[in-house]
A = this chain, B = another copy of it.
């Protein structure tokens, strides 16, 4: 494949998500295989659900070696250098935010290509960005984090909405970059200022 900005950022996002899954698994004392699986599902879960819902099969990660090899390499490196990687918490968070932004836009774009309504496409983009983490939390027997803490999916919804509003009015690449930046920025601001959504109790 050609090396372009999109694929570089997608790889960075995949790496960040695989690291996030691996750390969550190691904290629950899973064995090596468990860590590997958790790295995988966190990195490819959102895209897999997206492809299954729209019927684009075999799902994305099955079509080549690139993504699986990147994930395997990332998980192995995470296990070997876990102390070292932990010191880059801010870097990892930024990678995660970047991955979230790009995955959201990839999912939204894929929905538009499939001829779905714009609102549905935003939902599809949000699923692509967030549901890897949801599957990770379900497998580790936690209530999914995104339902309880900080603004996460909301960043995807804002970025995806902007994307479908602008895509026919501006240059495609510019819209992609703007939408990714908006997702990242929303997420960074939310974490920096500890913003969270209101809760209700019934």
Let me know if A177 is at the binding interface, CB within 8 A: no
Residues of A near any B CB (own CB < 8 A): 22-23, 25-35, 37-38, 48, 52-55, 57-59, 62-65, 68, 79, 82, 86, 114, 116-117, 119-120, 123-124, 134, 138-144, 146-149, 153-154, 196-202
Given A31-B197, A143-B28, also A53-B57 (CB < 8 A): yes
- Give the residue among A48, A64, A82, A143 with the most B Cβ atoms within 10 A: A143
Interface class of chain A by DSSP: helix
**Cα separation A141 to B139 with both chains bound (whole Å):** 9
Given A31-B197, A120-B68, also A139-B148 (CB < 8 A): no
Q: Chain B residues with Cβ under 8 A from A35's Cβ?
A: 200
A-B contact pairs, 17 of them (CB 8 A): A30-B143, A30-B199, A33-B146, A33-B147, A34-B147, A48-B53, A54-B58, A54-B62, A55-B57, A58-B114, A62-B120, A64-B117, A68-B123, A79-B200, A82-B202, A138-B139, A141-B142
Select which of B30, B116, B142 is within 8 A of A148 by beta carbon: B30
Q: How many copies does the complex hold?
A: 3
**Cα separation A197 to B141 with both chains bound (whole Å):** 21
Given A201-B27, A202-B23, also A33-B154 (CB < 8 A): yes
Which 6 A-B pairs have CB atoms at the shortest separation, nearest pair first? A55-B57, A34-B147, A26-B202, A31-B197, A30-B147, A32-B197
Select which of B29, B53, B114, B202 is within 8 A of A199 by beta carbon: B29
**Cα separation A146 to B37 with both chains bound (whole Å):** 10
**Cα separation A202 to B114 with both chains bound (whole Å):** 41
Closest approach, in angstroms, between the C-beta of A151 and any C-beta of chain B?
8
Closest approach, in angstroms, between the C-beta of A26 and any C-beta of chain B?
3
Do the beta carbons of A147 and B25 come within 8 Å of each other? yes
Residue in B closest to A61 when the chains form the complex, CB atoms: B120
Q: Chain B residues with Cβ under 8 A from A147's Cβ?
A: 25, 30-31, 33-34, 37-38, 139
